[in-house]
Structure 1
């Protein structure tokens, strides 16, 4: 007997823009792919907002999102003067008068008009689930008493994210009390029926504060890439580049790549002068490469399809020295079974173990040596590639992630449905 379709209101906190791709978009796309693959079980509606100062949902973008879900509703918040005054008064009070960051439990991005808009959708459409992405929008559902099962996907622990970014331009000089904000964050997410995280280190932090049945670790799924695709074995690839860094234009990427170019790369080039580093993504807009490396660094910028770049690069690097949460670039590298050299903070959210399925270090000299070992020893690189492929299959493949989402949303697949391909094993 077929199961009745469950109705889900899925919150869209960001536009999906392939030219400015980031981890949040990638994670959301992974869930949208799941909904599309499970369309016989769900009727999914999206909800987003056109708000002051944020990118707007165009008709083209609304049409694009309908490739994944059944309907989309957009709150025209930029037309609500009350919401504008309401949110700006918060920013003025905290940032201008108190000289501190907005509290993490602020409803700055979920003002009363937006909350009422979502509430009306829930009443009218009688959803079984409401799924909120990112703590900044928690108030869209946290106050709901409408009998809908509420889910929040944190993406990052916001208190951690704020702490590591307190010195970037828009928050520099503003006070931030980590302990009190973490306490407020936990109280807010406790109002949800399920709390989804995507990082091992986040589970360590939250497990002592939330009931075990409420906290769910769901690794990031790579949309558009199936583990079952014909991934060319590492030893069978035709390499064109040595090192690959992929990143959007943000402060952690800038600081990490600068650290690598200044403290690690010179030693690599000194010992292996023909080393070629490829930099892909919008990070090239805000990074300076020393002229002495003009033959060693190729800044590609935006690349429509990264698959070819991944397959033609020997080693993926993630030398970030600040940041929080899962680094999407690492999950992508794992998907392509690439040997990885990362810093501890980059790898902390994932099951990457130094010397087993990756190399992990903060020491510039050791970082350089590990890269050189992978470049000079094909057998070692192949071994690491095989190990990271196993890790990806066990934790980030469609079958691994889908089974976790099935459990959260109460989907039960029969063996015949699995055999028919509804569950990609």
Structure 2
């Protein structure tokens, strides 16, 4: 089998949950000896050098990058070729992240190769294959990653019916739809007459790899608007209630939004995220908004690390209780959970055991790979 996999960012940047999802799929393809070509979008930090690293790790056979389009330097071209046509046809621009040159570059790859499957990440990028003359007999699969209509609800000119209808219309153009959470599967299955497969995020179990703790709390996140709101809520409402002897690690792009605190170590990038988890006692996921599975929660559970989170932190999990997560929207209770985990060894052992059991039952490689085998017809 030969697959063309489009994912816009660098899967090797593991401090973002979406990248971890993409990397997990590449590792699955590798274990199944699926020949995989990869297409990303070039940026100042995603270059041919990173494509070479993916090849070195034997995760891909060939790699391509769609050209950089800098809107500020191409204002007229963007207006006449993208913005104005969208206004005339009343297209919802938020659903389309392709830029001038992307469709042509992607279709050059399709033209020069034959693929059994073309896998597109995100509804945003579906236009890459729309009305393409070069698809041949490829099966089209989309990995949704998220329910986008919900993500757009605070945007100007948002109209629920119009936006949801557009998302369903895009999904219906694919042969199969890959979703990461049971909630997404339920919603989409009510409106799309195509196969919808649940393949949640899976990782190797690492609960036996814990080392001596360096951090009491670990918070890993990118810098999207939901995570920015979450980290602000935590440091404004929960942090003042915590003992200042507690050592906290904030890892990823979110660290630039955290002030200077004596007991907080900020790490914008880390080569091996596993090392940080191995040295941590508790994971934080103070999410107030956003949809879909929180990859950082699953990553923590794979190490048997208890998670303290808000209600949004358990979105997408098959079980909402006895899963290794302590859930509250109340800052005082959030802080109390942290203190109890750090000070009560029996309580910590109980929640850690629940984390390990839940992870093994629902997010192990073995369970998830069986589902993916069915998706890709293996």
TM-score, length basis structure 1: 0.78
Tell me which residue corresponds to 1:350. Answer: 317
Name the structure 1 match of 2:165. 183
Q: 1:230 to 1:335 in 2, by over 3 A?
A: closer
Q: Report the alpha carbon displacement of residue 139 of structure 1 after superposing the two structures with TM.
A: 1.7
Give the structure 1 partner of residue 221 of structure 2: 247
In structure 1, what is the equivalent of residue 235 of structure 2? 261
Offset at 1:101? Answer: 9.8
Q: Which runs of 5+ in 1 are unaligned?
A: 1-5, 167-173, 412-425
2:208 is aligned to: 231
Question: What is the CA-CA distance between 1:17 and the residue it aligns to?
Answer: 5.3
C-alpha distance in 1 between matches for 2:46 and 2:20:
18
Distance 1:12 1:177, change over 3 A: same
Q: Please say if residues 242 and 315 of structure 1, whose CA atoms lie closer than 8 Å, have aligned partners that are also in contact.
A: yes
Q: How does 1:17-416 map to 2 (within 5 A)?
A: 18=13, 21-39=15-33, 42-50=34-42, 54-55=43-44, 57-66=46-55, 67-76=58-67, 78=69, 87-89=78-80, 92-93=83-84, 102-106=92-96, 108-109=97-98, 113-144=101-132, 146-163=136-153, 166=155, 174-211=156-193, 214-222=195-203, 226-227=204-205, 231-232=208-209, 238-269=212-243, 273-289=244-260, 294=262, 296-351=263-318, 353-354=320-321, 356-411=323-378
- What CA distance in whole angstroms lies between the structure 1 residues aligned with 2:221 and 2:318? 21
User: In 2 relative to 1, CA 355–147 (structure 1 residues): closer, same or farther, beyond 3 Å?
Assistant: closer
Q: Secondary structure at the match of 1:163?
A: coil
Name the SS for the 1:243 alignment partner: strand
Shift of 1:90: 6.7
Deviation at 1:140, TM superposition (A): 1.8
1:417 alignment partner in structure 2: none
State the distance in 2 between where 1:56 and 1:313 align: 29
SS of aligned partner of 1:138: helix
Task: Determine helix, strand or coil for the equivalent of 2:145.
Answer: coil
Do 2:98 and 2:128's aligned partners in 1 also have CA atoms closer than 8 Å? no
Rate the CA distance shift 1:250–1:120 in 2: closer, same or farther, 3 A.
closer
Q: Distance in 2 between matches of 1:87 and 1:219?
A: 37
Give the count of matched residue pairs.
370
Contact 2:219 2:249 in 1 (8 A): yes
Change (3 A) 1:185 1:356: closer
Equivalent position SS for 2:357: helix
TM-score between the two structures when normalised by the length of structure 2: 0.86
Kept in 2, the 8 Å contact 1:110–1:137? The answer is no
How far apart, in 2, do the equivalents of 1:29 and 1:361 lie?
A: 31
Q: Which structure: larger Rg?
A: 1
1-side partners of 2:202 and 2:361: how far apart? Answer: 12
C-alpha contact (below 8 Å) 1:101/1:176 kept by paired residues: no
Counterpart residue number, 1:423: none
Question: In structure 1, how many angstroms separate the alpha carbons of the residues matched to 2:166 and 2:344?
Answer: 50
Distance 1:25 1:232, change over 3 A: closer
CA contact (8 A) 1:267 1:368 kept: yes
Please give the secondary structure, in 2, of the residue aligned with 1:176. coil
Deviation by residue 1:249-299 (Cα, 9 ceiling, x = unmatched): 333222211111121222233xxx53222222232212225xxx52x3333
Q: Distance in 2 between matches of 1:263 and 1:345?
A: 17
